[in-house]
Structure formats: structure tokens, C-alpha cells
Structure 1
Amino acid sequence: MPAWPRILVAEDDGGVRDVIRTRLEMAGYETHTARTGVEALKRVLELKPQGLVLDINMPELDGFGVLTALRARPELKFPPTLMLTARHAPDDVRRAVALGAKDYLTKPFNESQLLARVARLLRPPIPPAAPAPLTPLALRKDDLLL
């Protein structure tokens, strides 16, 4: 049986971090945590997670700083990232997406919605559909206007 995806949860609030970790582990994910942005970067290097749940407001380095640092390191595999934060201003959402976040969920959150978003985050991208082949038209002599 294949191993479940490894998720890193970067959240400074211990209670929220524990809830997220517990729900993800109950759903079968291998879950690791970080309390600060600097710790999150170290854990990404060490663990190479398949997904990252990232708060914006953290000590030492905020979530935007984490995204910026990850983008600046092309040798790192940038994990698909779900921003999970109390900040809900449209500018914050735009900034997070511009820096590479794939999804954005605000607190307080519904646990089933969190699980659905993490599952969607980890789904492989759907390749674009190939265009339908062009088939030559069969013309009959009667179809031609002469």
C-alpha cells in the first residue's frame, strides 16, 4: 500500500496547529508541524512535503516571506500550498496566489472543508485535452457547386 502524502503544517497557534494535525492524521496523512516561518523553511528542506498548509501571521518570518523564500530557491520542489489564515482581505489573497499559493482558506474553518481542500491540493493536475483530430470531409459530387 502506498504511503500517504506528507503534509507540513506551519502555524504559530498551538491549539489550531494541533486541530489541523489531528484531523489530517485521522484522514491518513503523514503530518509534520512548524511553529515559525523560519522553522517551516527548514522543515520543507528536510521533509520535502507533498503539501504545505501555511499561516500568514507567524513569528520570525510570515507566510508571505516563506512563499518568497521558496520561490527564490529553484532547487527546492515548491510544495502545493494552502494558505490557512485569519486574514481575508482581497489583497492578501491576491498576494498569496501571486507568490505561488494554490488555495486560500480563512479561519475559522470547517474541518471537512479543510480536508477537501488538502485533498484537492494534492491531486495531480489534469493534462489539457488533446484537440480532436481533423477528419477530411467526404464530399460527394452533388455537394460541389460548379
Structure 2
Amino acid sequence: MAGQGCGPGGERAGVTRVRSTPAWDTPPRLLVVDDEDTVRGLLADALRFAGFTVTAVGTGADAVEAALGDPPDLIVLDLMLPGMDGFEVVRRLRSARAHRPVPVLFLSARDAPEDKVNGLSLGGDDYVTKPFHLPELIARIQAILRRSGAVPVDGVLAVADLTVDPVAREVTRAGRPVRLSPTEFKLLHFLVAHADQVVSKPRILEDVWRYDFAGDTSIVDTYVSYLRRKVDNVEPKLIHTVRGAGYVLRGPRR
């Protein structure tokens, strides 16, 4: 488990939060399930430090009991558990009539495509492989919670004269509104949220399209070209290609 990155409250250069919302009124409650004591303890402590309320258990049976007894806002679920694996945990929770659906983020050392497809097909919301980068894991948890309505979405983001409002789903460039399709908006929001970071095409495909295109990254190039025509048709150019690495959205150098 890697934990490098900016500390709590850190702000990256290049992206400005024009309007912020409270992180949450009540800390989201997470259920962490991992049979490795060390990993479970470190992960639970890190998530508590990030502001979550965490319950941690080590078996699939304990996970089902905890989730049915007091449903959390999200389950971080190891796939390889003794007796009852993560897939079976989700099956039992989804089949419980009185159980309200709870978002699930699978955490596993298994990175075979069939495992990811199986997990997402069962109703999982994301699939992260070990070893993982802790800030990215927290960002993925927050993204799932935002989609589920457990926490509010981020405030307006701005890079140079470009603004993206994820609440109103509005985009402006040089003060003028830009009309985007839902997928174009998701891609632009992802790039702005990762401003000044070079992001690979597979990473974009995974986060924006959610595995739908089975590894064909040409769809990323197509939609980046759409964004360039709509968003980057004025100076300064913000979306840049990094050959052999991916794309980066950044403002002009000062």
C-alpha cells in the first residue's frame, strides 16, 4: 500500500477551487474487509485519518453480518477471503431483501480482466488492485460516495480561463458557456481534476468509461479531439499530448 501524495488539505498547483462545499456534515461510514491483519489495520487507520468512520473486519461472514446489521455508506472489500470470498459476500448482500444497496469497492491482488468483469457485473462500483496508491484509493472512494449521494460533489474547478462546475454540470471557457455531451463532460472533469498530472489512456478509459471498451483506448483519442474542438479552440491551449504517456491538462506556464 503506497501512501505518497499531498497531505490533507493540500492544493495542487494549476487547479483552483472557485467555490467549495463542506466535505460532509457527518463522516461517511466505511466497512473495511481484509483478512490480513496488517493491511486491514493500516488501511483502517489511513481512512480514519482521511475523515471517514471505519469499521474493520477480517472475514466474509463478519462482513455480511456487519453490513446487514448496520449498513455502511460503502464497503471496501478484499476479494480473497477465507471461507467466503468477496464475490460471495456481494451475492449475499444483494440477495438480502431487507438490505438496501451499498456501494462496494473491490480490493484485490488479482488483476485478471475476468475478475474485474465479474466483480463489476455482480454490482461492484470499482475494482482496485494491490498494491495501491492510497491517495488514489481515497479519491475513488470519494467518487463512489458522490455518485451514491453520500457526500456532496466538489466545488467549481478552474484552470486558466476554463471552469468546470460538477454540480450544475456547466463549463465555461473565457467566460463563454461550452456545451458538452455527458461523456465529454466526464472526460473534461477528470482532466481538470487531475490538472498538471500526465494521465495514461488506460487510466482515463478505466475512470471515465468504466471498462466498457475492453481496453481499446482509441475512444479516448476520439473524445479528446472533441474536447479540443469545443474547449481548446482558443488560446492558450490547455489539453496537451505527452507522446508515449497520455494526456495532461495544464494552464500556461508563468
TM-based fold match above 0.5: yes
Which amino acid in structure 2 is aligned with residue 124 of structure 1?
A: R
Which of the numbers 37, 46, 70 marks the counterpart of 2:60? Answer: 37
Which residue of structure 1 lines up, in the alignment, with residue 39 of structure 2? 16
Correspondent of 1:2 among 17, 25, 29: 25
Deviations 1:30-65 (A, max 9, x none): 000110000000010122100000011111210000
2:154 paired residue number: none
- 2:82 is matched by which residue type in structure 1? P
- Preserved CA contact (<8 Å) 2:31 2:74: yes
TM-score, with length taken from structure 1: 0.83
Query: Which residue of the partner structure matches residue 96 of structure 2?
Result: 73
TM-score, with normalisation over the residues of structure 2?
0.48
Match of 1:63 among 82, 86, 95: 86
- Runs of 4+ that moved beyond 4 A: none
Gaps in structure 2 of 5+ consecutive residues: 1-23, 149-165, 170-254
Identity percentage over the alignment?
36
The number of equivalent residue pairs is: 128
- Cα distance in 2 for partners of 1:115, 1:74 equals 30
Q: Describe the superposition over 1:1-29 as per-residue Cα deviations: whole angstroms up to 9, x where unpaired.
A: 72101000010011111121011100110
**Residue aligning to 2:139:** 116
Select which of 50, 69, 73 maps to 1:27: 50
SS at 1:123 equivalent: helix
Instruction: Give 1:74 shift.
Output: 2.8
Residues of 1 paired with 2:89 and 2:72: CA distance? Answer: 14
| Structure 2 residue matching 1:42: 3-state secondary structure | helix
Cα shift readout 1:97-146 (whole Å, capped 9, x = no counterpart):
0101000000000010111011011113599x9xxxxxxxxxxxxxxxxx
Tell me how large the CA RMSD over aligned residues is: 1.8
2:105 maps to 1:82 = yes
Unaligned residue ranges in structure 1 (runs of 5+): 130-146
Q: Is the 8 A contact 2:73 2:102 kept in 1?
A: yes
Q: Is the Cα contact below 8 Å between 2:48 and 2:54 reproduced in 1?
A: yes
CA distance in 2: counterparts of 1:108 and 1:124, whole angstroms: 25
Q: Distance in 1 between matches of 2:32 and 2:92?
A: 17
For 2:94, give the aligned amino acid: R
What is the SS of the residue equivalent to 1:92? helix
Q: Distance in 1 between matches of 2:114 and 2:45?
A: 31
Counterpart of 1:106 in structure 2 is 129
User: Which structure ranks higher in relative contact order (CA pairs < 8 Å, sequence separation ≥ 6)?
Assistant: 1
Q: Is the 8 A contact 2:105 2:124 kept in 1?
A: yes
Q: Distance in 2 between matches of 1:110 and 1:19?
A: 13
Q: For 2:33 and 2:111, locate their aligned partners in 1 and report how far apart those are by CA, in whole Å.
A: 18
Amino acid at match of 1:47: D
